[in-house]
């Protein structure tokens, strides 16, 4: 029975993938960004000290200096640390630096936080713009990435628009394999899933959210995989999350061969935990 179900699902995914390829062959899914939106957008980057401060600072500079948007952009760098760290003073200087007109940075220390989810919740309490983009500390979104997400979310009326991820300058063989996997996942598998299910889901980094929806649901701090737990509640309540693969963001290459293994095992176990939890309870916007 399990084998039959798996075979049927694989056939459906193959058909949906073929359909997406045919559609893309005749028309581009890429959003039309000839009309640049001037809607203010917030960007949230969670950071953990001491390991993330250097890459997070470079990410802030990259987003402020290279990511295109016709309106104001406010970057919230929100961090937590188990003990006082000298890098805190350097991060605080980012708020005082003279940035280009319409661009600003706010550095926030999430007091009492012990997780990425708690950092994100602390930043959401301060965001006042209609839309908010989320990036991991090591991500470098392409120049047109944010503009594509914004154009697609305004066109579709979705509550969230998820972009794609790739590996920047892969140097190891494993990094090339992960990069190839990311490409197939974001440009074939995810769009095919959207065709079958009518929706996508939040992937953790490089999405653009409606701030009201994201703040209403929030992140469940006890879960260490926010990209698994949050979209389950959001989708069960009927909100729309769609994919925009042309909006690309580059992640840092894996530091070691064994690093992806525990990460993916954590994802797998969290999916099982979320499934058990939401299968026997009523979905609620407020994390329990």
pLDDT truncated to tens, each residue of the chain (288 aa)?
A: 888 887 888 788 778 777 766 666 555 444 455 556 789 999 999 999 988 888 999 999 999 999 999 999 999 999 999 999 899 999 999 999 999 999 999 999 999 888 888 999 999 999 999 999 999 999 999 999 999 999 999 999 999 999 999 999 887 888 898 899 899 888 888 888 887 788 888 888 999 999 999 999 988 766 555 667 787 788 888 899 999 999 999 998 876 555 666 766 766 666 666 666 666 555 555 554
Kindly report the pTM of this predicted structure.
Answer: 0.82
Can you list the alpha helix ranges (DSSP code H) found in 67-210? Answer: 87-96, 116-124, 145-156, 173-184, 190-197
Strand partners, 165: 249
**If you ran DSSP here, which 8-state letter would residue 223 be given?**
-
10's enclosing H/E stretch is helix 2-26
275's enclosing H/E stretch is helix 260-279
Token reading at 25: 């062959």
Determine the Cα angle at 203 with ends 4 and 186, to 5°. Answer: 65
Chain centre to alpha carbon of residue 203: 5
Token reading at 72: 């104001």
- How far is it, in rounded angstroms, from Cα 117 to Cα 114? 9
- How far is it, in rounded angstroms, from Cα 21 to Cα 27? 10
- How far is it, in rounded angstroms, from Cα 203 to Cα 242? 11
């Amino acid at each position: 029975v399990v084998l039959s179900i798996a075979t049927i699902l694989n056939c459906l995914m193959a058909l949906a993938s073929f359909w997406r390829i045919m559609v893309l062959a005749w028309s581009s899914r890429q959003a039309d960004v000839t009309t640049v939106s001037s809607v203010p957008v917030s960007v949230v980057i969670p950071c953990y000290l001491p390991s993330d401060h250097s890459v997070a600072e470079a990410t802030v500079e990259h987003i402020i200096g290279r990511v295109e948007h016709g309106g104001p952009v406010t970057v919230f760098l929100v961090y937590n640390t188990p003990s006082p760290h000298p890098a805190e003073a350097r991060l605080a200087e980012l708020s005082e630096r003279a940035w280009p007109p319409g661009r600003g940075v706010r550095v926030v220390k999430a007091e009492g936080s012990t997780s990425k989810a708690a950092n994100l919740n602390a930043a959401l309490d301060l965001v006042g713009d209609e839309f908010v983009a989320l990036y991991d500390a090591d991500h470098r979104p392409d120049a047109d990435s944010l503009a594509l997400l914004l154009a697609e979310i305004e066109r579709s009326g979705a509550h969230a628009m998820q972009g794609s991820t790739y590996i920047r300058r892969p140097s190891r063989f494993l990094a090339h394999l992960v990069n190839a996997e990311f490409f197939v996942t974001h440009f074939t598998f995810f769009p095919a899933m959207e065709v079958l299910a009518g929706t996508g889901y939040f992937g953790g980094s490089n999405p653009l959210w409606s701030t009201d929806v994201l703040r209403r649901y929030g992140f469940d701090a006890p879960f260490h995989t926010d990209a698994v737990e949050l979209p389950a509640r959001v989708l069960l309540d009927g909100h729309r999350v769609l994919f925009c693969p042309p909006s690309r963001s580059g992640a840092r290459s894996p530091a070691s061969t064994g690093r992806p293994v525990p990460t993916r095992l954590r994802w797998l176990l969290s999916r099982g935990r979320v499934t058990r939890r939401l299968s026997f309870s009523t979905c609620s916007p407020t994390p329990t």
